[in-house]
Amino acid sequence: MITIYSDKHRLRNSKTELYGGQLVPPFENPSRADIVLERVKSENLGEVISPREFGMEPVLALHDAGFVEFLQVAWEEWTKTGYKGEAMANCWPARRMSQRVPDFIEGKIGYYSLANETSISKGTWEAAEASKDVALTGAELILSGNENGVFSLCRPPGHHAAFDMFGGYCFLNNAAIAAQWFRDNGIDRVAILDIDFHHGNGTQDIFYQRDDVLYLSLHGDPRDAFPHFSGYQEETGQNTGEGTTYNWPLPPGTQFNKWCDCLKESLAKIDQFEAEVIIVSLGVDTFEKDPISFFKLKSEDFLTIGKLISDLKLTTLFVMEGGYDIKELGVNAVNVLQGFEE
């Protein structure tokens, strides 16, 4: 299996995350992509290639133009204020408040974010831009004949990034951008299977009112898990998108057998939908030792996941999302890909 990877992920190297009331070194850091790449190489998974640049058109096909412009200038505007730390929101357009974009950067960050753990740092935009190119290059390779599966080793991840909001370590929604690119290049029906521990609120948001992209997610119940305000079972899509969003929120301590039953249900939905291409939002923070999650999957379970996905016999693009147990992250991510290829 071909892997797409860019060194530019290192430009996303923030120093602070707000966690448990403290500023801590971010769980989402460059060592994540390094360890996965190392495993790809040590297991001889296949060729590793660099992305090509796709420009902004595929991004603006589904993200808000004002939001994208904000991401491009946020760090520069923040540093001009003289603030000492990295860029973080402290105020949001919450219930019954004005939904307008303020002029001052602090207000803009509040307007364009859905959470406050993720600070914007120098180089964040450049890394996010390269990450979507990693996803798009994977999509392009699939359409040019690599139908047996491609791995886009994206970092920063993307599935929390919504139409006009960043957060949850995500800035541009790599999987959604790839899905839209497939739609714009002759693929009629795309399924996005999100197996990251967290609900992909951003991907759901982007396709919630559309019936051409099926979104399915297995995740920690939002009553107990980030992003807390998205991912309930009754969220099933709206308007023409009604019935093309599926959520499986699962409780703390969920073991693989229960999780796997839900995966099988989701795969049956993909089959019924008659998807031509699947994009797997590949998060492995479902792992039992993940420091910020609460499922109990073991390393060998990730092989089974890959095998079950391959049983659909559909063209599959794997897009890297979360996974924060650095020690086992490479093994777990590559296990999915190896299970798929077996």
Please say whether the beta carbons of 263 and 302 come within 8 A: no
- The verdict on 26 binding Zn ion (CB under 5 A) reads no
- The verdict on 12 binding Zn ion (CB under 5 A) reads no
Determine the size of the site formed for Zn ion (CB under 5 A): 6
d(CA 2, CA 28): 24
d(CA 245, CA 179): 15
DSSP letter assigned to residue 195:
-
Largest CA distance in the chain: 55
Closest distance of CB 159 from Zn ion, Å = 8
d(CA 79, CA 85): 9
Nearer to Zn ion, 241 or 322 (CB): 322
- The verdict on 63 binding Zn ion (CB under 5 A) reads no
d(CA 315, CA 34): 26
Question: For the window 162-201, what string marks contact with Zn ion as x by the rule CB under 5 A?
Answer: ----------------------------------xxx---
Among 220, 237, 283, 339, binds Zn ion (CB under 5 A): 283
**Of residues 63, 159, 160, 219, which has the active-site annotation?**
160
Contacts (Cβ under 8 Å, ≥6 apart) of 313: none
Nearer to Zn ion, 231 or 241 (CB): 231
Nearer to Zn ion, 33 or 187 (CB): 33
Closest distance of CB 306 from Zn ion, Å = 18
Can you read off the two tokens belonging to residue 156? 């920063």
Distances (CA, A) of 139 to 163, 230, 243, 340: 20, 27, 25, 17
Nearer to Zn ion, 197 or 248 (CB): 197
Contacts (Cβ under 8 Å, ≥6 apart) of 299: 287, 328, 331, 332, 335
Question: For the window 65-84, what string marks contact with Zn ion as x by the rule CB under 5 A?
Answer: --------------------
Nearer to Zn ion, 140 or 196 (CB): 196
How does 61-90 read in b/e, with b if 16+ C-beta sit within 10 Å?
A: ebbeeebbebbeebbebbeeeeeeebbbbe
Closest distance of CB 302 from Zn ion, Å = 15
Closest distance of CB 321 from Zn ion, Å = 6
- The verdict on 285 binding Zn ion (CB under 5 A) reads yes
Nearer to Zn ion, 197 or 273 (CB): 197
**DSSP bridge pairs for 316:** 278
160 given a catalytic annotation: yes
In which element (H, E) is residue 75 found? helix 65-80
Please say whether the beta carbons of 32 and 326 come within 8 A: yes
Please say whether the beta carbons of 197 and 286 come within 8 A: yes
- The verdict on 322 binding Zn ion (CB under 5 A) reads yes
- The verdict on 249 binding Zn ion (CB under 5 A) reads no
Closest distance of CB 233 from Zn ion, Å = 19
Return the range that interacts with Zn ion (CB under 5 A); candidates 10-18, 78-86, 114-122, 322-330: 322-330
Return the range that interacts with Zn ion (CB under 5 A); candidates 47-55, 57-65, 227-235, 316-324: 316-324
Nearer to Zn ion, 167 or 237 (CB): 167
- The verdict on 202 binding Zn ion (CB under 5 A) reads no
d(CA 176, CA 192): 8
Closest distance of CB 44 from Zn ion, Å = 28
Closest distance of CB 263 from Zn ion, Å = 16
Point out which residues bind Zn ion (CB under 5 A).
196-198, 283, 285, 322
Q: Mind telling me the catalytic residues? A: 160
